[in-house]
Amino acid sequence: MRVWPFLVAAPLALGAMADAAPRTKGKVVRVERSRATGDVPRVCEVRALEGGVCFGPAPIVGDIVTVLSEQRVIAEVRVTESQEYATRGSSCPGLYTIKVELVRGNFDADESTIGIVDRDLDPHAARKLSRGDQPESPSGRAGESVQIAVDREGDGIADILVVQSDCDGTGQLCLDEWARVDRKMVRVVQTNFSNCGI
C-alpha cells in the first residue's frame, strides 16, 4: 500500500565588516558545518491554496514551503495555520495539516505537488526527481520503497528522500525521511502511521 498519495489535505546579504589590518594572501577554504539536530527538512504535499499535509517536525506558522515540480521550483507558499492531523477521533503525532498563502509563483488549483521547508534548498535549482531517477532506500533493507526524492541543488543527486518502510522490521507502517548531512544520507525522522486510523 502506498502511503504518500493520501496526503492531500534565501539568500541573505551579509554586511562586510571593516577591518583596518592589512589582508594576507591565501586560498579560500570551504568549511562544511554539521546540520543542527533540530533543523530537519519538512516534507509536505501541497494542494494549491487549499493547504496541505506535512510529516515529521511540526510546521511553524511563517515557514516558507518551496513547491517543486520535476523541472523546477514553481512556487513558494507561507504557512498560515498548522495543526496535528486527526482522523476518526485519533491524533497522529508526526503528521500535520497546514493552510498556506501564496508568496510567489503559481500552480494549478487541482495539482498536488511536493513542498519542502529546508534552509539548504536552492530556490533556483531544486527539483523533485522523477521515478526513474530515484535511488534505492539508503537503509538497504528489502521491501522499502522510495516515495519522494528531492534534489536540493540541481545536480541530479537526491538530497532528501521519503521512504515507506516497515518501521525497522516491526511490520508496522512508517514513512522515513532521509537527508544528506555532511555528504552522506542520514535518517532524520521516522513517522509511524500504525495508530493513525489511516
Q: Which residues contact 23 (CB under 8 A, 6 or more apart)?
A: none
Residue found under cell 499535509: 53
Burial of 130 (0-12, 13-18, 19+ CB in 10 A): exposed
Q: Which residues contact 138 (CB under 8 A, 6 or more apart)?
A: 161, 163, 178, 185, 187
Q: What is the per-residue pLDDT for 47?
A: 81
Contact yes or no for 57/71 (Cβ under 8 A)? no
Contact yes or no for 174/166 (Cβ under 8 A)? yes
All residue ranges of the chain with pLDDT < 50 are: 1-38
Provide the residue type at 165 as one letter.
S
Number of Cβ atoms within 10 Å of the Cβ of 86: 13
pLDDT tens track for 30-42:
333 334 434 899 9
Q: Identify the CA nearest to 137 among candidates 158, 121, 116, 118.
A: 158
Q: List the domain boundaries for the chain.
A: 39-192
For the entire predicted model, the pTM comes to: 0.77
Q: What is the per-residue pLDDT for 23?
A: 37
Q: For the CA atoms of the chain, what is the radius of gyration?
A: 19
Provide the residue type at 8 as one letter.
V
Burial of 46 (0-12, 13-18, 19+ CB in 10 A): buried
